[in-house]
Amino acid sequence: MRHQTRGFVARLSTCGFLLLLLGGRVFQDQSTRADEPVATPPVQIQTGTGPGWRELTEADFAPVNCLPETWTWKEGVLYCTGQPVGVMRTRKRYENFELVAEWCHRQHGGNSGIFVWATDESIEKLTQEGKPGLPHGIEVQILDLGYAELYTQRTGKTPDWFTSHGDVFPTGTARMTPFPPLSPNGSRSFPTENRSKGVNEWNHYYVRGINGEIRLWVNGGEVSGGKECTPRSGYLCLESEGAPIEFKNLRIRELP
């Protein structure tokens, strides 16, 4: 009986070790209702340091419709001048993935974003024409807290159709069913809480795209996303839109 007990305990220990080792994989494969928040990812996933993660460097990106001086890599930081309005894209297309990005606006009211699953057609058009513009895809917006103030000063209107805390929405021909809460016209997934920091402070995004569903965590908390995205594969793009911004610790893990 004692021998059988020792064997049972040994098997339990082995199972526990395997679960710990595969913790990140267990998280990525878990199933939840699409419109409900999922469990907070383990720290090693949110920081992009677990198994399967790799750094995105200059070699992973290709120009689209910006100037050569728009984007500059230096000592692990990607600097963007914000001029002209445009993007650079990953050299490869992604379908299921996890992405970590830290970003910092360097101008009050700055605007930028990360495009997910950008279409081949829109990228090709922007590249060939070489004019300012943005691709069709799912945008994970990056707005400085001062953008609403500048919008009101410029238009005299209340900025009720966007936030500065991680809106997610489709652009162009792309489609998405956004998670609530929604913008007034129902096109955007508004964040469930305000977690973004202001100008000259670093923010952390963890983005997960699986089977046409996109979810965003801002500074450690899930806030927004959507399901039934079309397309559900494509390029990842970083956006230049009128103001200087910096990125660092860009990391990605492809998922099955």
d(CA 124, CA 135): 9
Containing structural domain, residue 230: 31-254
Other beta carbons less than 10 A from residue 119's beta carbon = 21
Q: Tens digits of per-residue pLDDT, 237-256? A: 999 999 999 999 999 999 99
Strands 86-90 and 203-210: unpaired
Residue 109 lies in a domain: yes
Tokens 């209107």 found at: 157
Helix (H/G/I), strand (E/B), else coil: 206: strand
- In 3D space, the residue among 57, 70, 58, 117 whose CA is nearest the CA of residue 237 turns out to be 117
Per-residue confidence at 34, pLDDT binned at 50, 70, 90? Answer: low
Which backbone phi and psi does 143 adopt, to 5 degrees?
-115, 140
* Average pLDDT value over all residues in the chain: 89
Alpha-carbon gap, residue 170 to 189, rounded angstroms: 10
Of 138, 145, 171, nearest to 159 (Cα)? 145
pLDDT band at 42 (very low <50, low <70, confident <90, very high): confident
pLDDT-derived band at 59 (thresholds 50, 70, 90) equals very high
Calpha distance 12→18 (Å, rounded): 10
Question: Regarding predicted confidence, which is higher, 10 or 52?
Answer: 52
**Above pLDDT 90, what percent of the chain?**
81
Tell me whether residue 127 is in a domain: yes
Helical (H) or strand (E) element with 143: strand 137-143
**225 part of a folded domain:** yes
Residue 12 is assigned to a structural domain of this protein: no
**Predicted pLDDT of residue 200:** 98
Mapped onto helix, strand or coil, the DSSP state of residue 9 is helix
pLDDT for position 46: 84
CATH number for 244: 2.60.120.560
Q: What angle do CA 112, 118, 121 make, to 5 degrees?
A: 125
Has residue 8 been placed in a domain?
no
What is the pLDDT confidence band of residue 116, given thresholds at 50, 70 and 90? Answer: very high
Name the pLDDT band for 1 (thresholds 50, 70, 90): very low
Written as one string, the DSSP assignment of 90-125 is ESS-BSSEEEEEEEEE-STT-EEEEEEEE-HHHHHH
pLDDT at residue 22 in the model: 40
Instruction: Give the tens place of pLDDT for each residue, 72-84.
Output: 999 999 999 999 9
Query: Is 54 among the domain residues?
Result: yes
Per DSSP, helices labelled H in the chain are 2-21, 23-29, 43-46, 120-129, 147-155
Within a domain: residue 2? Answer: no
What's the pTM?
A: 0.87
Give the pLDDT of residue 71: 98
- Per-residue pLDDT tens for 133-191? 999 999 999 999 999 999 999 999 999 999 999 999 999 999 999 999 999 999 999 99
Contact 91, 62 (CB under 8 A): yes
Work out how many domains the chain is built from and give that number: 1
Using 50, 70 and 90 to split pLDDT, how confident is the model at 36? confident
Average pLDDT in the 17-43 region? Answer: 53
| Alpha carbons 142 and 81: distance in angstroms, whole number | 15
Segment 179-207 mean pLDDT:
98
Positive or negative, the Cα torsion across 201, 89, 207, 119?
Answer: positive
Residue 19 domain-assigned?
A: no
